[in-house]
Amino acid sequence: MRAKVAIIGSGNIGTDLMIKVLRLSEHLEMSAMVGIDPASDGLARARRLGVPTTSDGVEGLLEMPDFDGIRIVFDATSAKSHQANAARLMPLGKRLIDLTPAAIGPFVVPAVNLAEHSDAPNVNMVTCGGQATIPIVAAVTRAAHTPYAEIVAAIASRSAGPGTRANIDEFTETTAHAIEIVGGVAHGKAMIVLNPAEPSMIMRDTVYCLVDAPHPGQHNDIVASIESMVAEVAAYVPGYRLKQRVQIAQVPSDQPVHTLTGGVPVTHQVSVFLEVEGAAHYLPRYAGNLDIMTSAALRVAEEIARATAGRGALA
């Protein structure tokens, strides 16, 4: 039996996620699309696709006839709204997958730590930059001691809607924290660039790590670990790929990297350049930043539903 799911947020992310559930999911059934604007394209599209809708927000969801049967709720609203939504839904036993920077529940990056948190009542999908880069940070840390990592996520300005722009500060703070918690480094930093170029550019991400890896064999291990991780992420985000070969260079003796590592000695810097192209289910191909969020959220929900299919209900 498929697990019934609802999506709160009828904007671009919520609509793309709905279409992914309808087209791609093996274990999920769309039972509700929730918004606050009766005229939104997302709600109109949901109705055309036969998905029950409400424009009364989470309170409208509570009143929907099939509410009791819904097991998983995706929240694609905002950090502030998710706090209120979680307060209403978690006491009712709903499993929440949070696509906002609220970070009430543990950070989850499917390729890195999904198994650790598959039973959590509320999981947070970090940010688009986090979903794209934290797997690479984790791949480096499992191959070499890595005291510092920073990422730069460059996305098309047209793909950054009001929600993204309103949460820019939360984006950098949440991503940096998740680099440390999930990526496994002592010090993490995150930056985002909204690129106004026309035609719109595909999402690009740069990952920069400082490692203690004096032996050439360790460099081969780092590259192999990164390439393996890229393949794992690409299994659920087909447009995810290395833009060029991994670069590993010796840290110059006069470079004051101790200010970044907290004084921990390092020998080399690892630079990884990524590209994320969207699947164009609803969003344009350049909006890989949004596609990786919905793809990762779908992957989490699929695993939750699959793992609990034999229990008769989601614990």
List, by residue number, the catalytic residues: 128
Q: How far apart are CA 313 and CA 303, in angstroms?
A: 14
222-259: burial string, b at 16+ Cβ within 10 Å, e else? bbebbeebbebbeebbebbeeeeebebeebeeeeebee
Residues 19/76, Cβ–Cβ less than 8 Å: no
E strands in 44-106? 53-54, 70-75, 95-98
Q: Which two tokens stand for residue 6?
A: 């609802």
* DSSP 3-state percent helix, strand, coil across the chain (nearest 5): 45, 25, 35
Strand 187-195 relative to strand 268-276, pairing = unpaired
Helix (H, G, I), strand (E, B) or coil at 264: coil
Residue with tokens 């791949």: 139
Residues 99/74, Cβ–Cβ less than 8 Å: yes
- 262 sits in the region (left: phi over 0; alpha: psi -120 to 50; else beta) called left
Q: How far apart are CA 286 and CA 266, in angstroms?
A: 36
- 224 sits in the region (left: phi over 0; alpha: psi -120 to 50; else beta) called alpha
Residue with tokens 């930059």: 129
